[in-house]
Amino acid sequence: MGGFFAVAARSDCVSDLFYGTDYHSHLGTRRGGLAVRSNGGCTRFIHDITGTPFRSKFEPDLPKLHGRWGLGIISDYEDQPLIIGSHLGQYAIVTVGRILNADALARQAFRQRATHFSEMSGGQINPTELVATLINQEASFEEGIRRAQETIEGSCSMLLLTEKGIYAARDRLGRTPVVLGARSGAYAAALESCSFPNLGFDHERDLGPGEVVLMTEDGAETLRAPGRRMQICTFLWVYYGYPASNYEGVNVEVARNRCGAALAKDDDVEVDFVSGIPDSGTGHALGYANARRLPYERPFVKYTPTWPRGLIGQDQSVRDLVARMKLIPIAEIIRGKKMLFCEDSIVRGTQLRGAIQRLYDCGAREVHMRVACPPLAYSCKFLNFSRWRSELDLAARKAMKELAVGAEPDLRECVTCGSEKNRAVVERVRQMLHLSTLKYQRLEDLVAAIGLPREKLCTYCWDGTE
């Protein structure tokens, strides 16, 4: 997916920028970048962070960066920030999101004959460069950002580092969060509010859908008011949001605890203890264990220093390797026990199947699974938070295929909790994973655990509703 951080300060901002950007490392595995503005221009560094922590790659660059305004990015795809020269002046830009109509926008730009794009690997156009092209077609940054937001299908939040200050813009429907932080003499903008506390920033407010602000060390001026419709990604609270972050006033860990408690409701399976697949399953599992007053144990411990998130690795073999190597079983806790695991989601199921088999290899008597969201049935159209090549890679879709489910009405019934076809899909996934029992969260209970109105949440990956 990706995450960004920007800061404007009365004194040098580089330390805040470095650590604030680093707090977004859980959102990407391949590229990192920093840009600082000083003496009328921008200084930039970009590094490949595949298999290497962001901090270790960028620490040698810090003595070369000086300035009061800066921005940084963790990206899972393209090189960023880009330094753009245009009639608006020189600026640095970073983006997070997914542009569904990128090819059509590029063709439209080519027709003007004055546009060219540098090429990414695989012949793709850098989406951040495409956004810059849209912005440059207008007479001001404000008008250019508005043009980009209104033209892009999908989602695109962005930060621009200019001679006037830092423009921060949330995507048109607010699918990704953009939050503002303040402290004496400095303002910051970020995707993750967890980047604020240890740097002394207070979480001031969230930008609304489509809102644009111009930020300096003195504050953030709203240039474009937020829109009324919001479709923030529900998966933030389920999986890829950081536990210490808040979005729309709802803390991730608190929502996961409530989600786990909802999973425990009316569940009477007899187990010796509850656990979570670390790390994102932990909050759900604690909520479940507390609700049922069951012991919480750690039969798996996660080795975190060098292994990134399994879901966003480069290919399936890397994802499987990461999933195995980062989880270390404790046989003394596992042997002879009946255990219940909470997991944030079941995507492909390949990594989870391996983890479950390792529990049995260590002597587990029973392994039960409770999943914090409904079966994933549709590939996300709006954010690059995963890399499955096709919807048929999803465990639920594989089960549907084996059950000869194909037509859209049947798909809808399969994701409707409690329906006959839904029960058949869940049972097939249970068999695929060799689980003693398997239950998924009801979508209604997930929405209630988050606490926002259903119409403000994007639930496309579960029910196909746009």
What CATH number is associated with residue 132? 3.60.20.10
Q: What is the pLDDT of residue 14?
A: 98
Q: Are residues 85 and 151 in the same domain?
A: yes
Would 143 be classed as within a structural domain?
yes
**Cα 342–Cα 346–Cα 349 angle in degrees, nearest 5:** 115
Bridge partners (DSSP) listed for residue 371: 343, 440
Q: What is the pLDDT of residue 400?
A: 87
412 vs 439, residue with greater confidence: 439
Q: Does residue 296 carry a pLDDT above 70?
A: yes
Would 87 be classed as within a structural domain?
yes
**Cα 416–Cα 398–Cα 242 angle in degrees, nearest 5:** 70
Would 236 be classed as within a structural domain?
no
Q: What tokens does 393 get?
A: 């890679």
Q: Are residues 200 and 302 in the same domain?
A: no
What CATH number is associated with residue 254? 3.40.50.2020
397 vs 269, residue with greater confidence: 269
CA torsion sign, 89 to 91 to 97 to 99? positive
Neighbours of 205 (CB within 10 A): 12
Would 396 be classed as within a structural domain?
yes
Q: What is the pLDDT of residue 418?
A: 81
Q: Does residue 124 carry a pLDDT above 70?
A: yes
Q: Are residues 338 and 442 in the same domain?
A: yes
Please give the share of the chain, as a percent, with pLDDT higher than 70.
91
Helical H segments across 206-343, by residue range: 235, 252-264, 282-292, 316-326, 331-334
What is the span of the domain harbouring residue 314?
Answer: 247-463
Would 239 be classed as within a structural domain?
no
What total number of domains does the chain contain? 2
Q: Are residues 158 and 11 in the same domain?
A: yes
- Residue 464: CB partners within 8 Å, gap ≥ 6? 377, 378, 408, 411, 412, 415
Q: Are residues 316 and 423 in the same domain?
A: yes
Bridge partners (DSSP) listed for residue 329: 300
| CB-count burial class (<10 Å; 0-12, 13-18, 19+) for 424 | middle
Q: Are residues 75 and 203 in the same domain?
A: yes
Question: 59-106 pLDDT, tens per residue?
Answer: 999 999 999 999 999 997 789 999 999 999 999 999 999 999 998 998
Q: What is the pLDDT of residue 122?
A: 57
Beta strand 232-233 with 457-458: parallel, antiparallel or unpaired? parallel
Q: Are residues 156 and 259 in the same domain?
A: no
3-state helix, strand, coil in the chain (%, to 5): 35, 25, 40
CA-CA distance, 83 to 361, in Å (whole number)? 53
Q: Are residues 329 and 205 in the same domain?
A: no
Question: 15-33 pLDDT, tens per residue?
Answer: 999 999 999 999 988 899 9
Average pLDDT, the chain: 91
Q: Does residue 324 carry a pLDDT above 70?
A: no
Q: Are residues 27 and 166 in the same domain?
A: yes
Q: What tokens does 279 get?
A: 């790390």
Q: What is the pLDDT of residue 310?
A: 47
Q: Does residue 319 carry a pLDDT above 80?
A: no
Domain boundary among 173, 203, 229: 229
Residues in the chain: 466
Q: For residue 375, what pLDDT band results from cuts at 50, 70 and 90?
A: very high
Q: Are residues 389 and 276 in the same domain?
A: yes
Q: Are residues 320 and 184 in the same domain?
A: no
Radius of gyration of the chain, Cα coordinates, nearest whole angstrom: 23
Question: 401-423 pLDDT, tens per residue?
Answer: 888 765 665 777 777 788 888 99
Q: Are residues 459 and 345 in the same domain?
A: yes
Question: 251-278 pLDDT, tens per residue?
Answer: 999 999 999 999 999 999 999 999 998 8
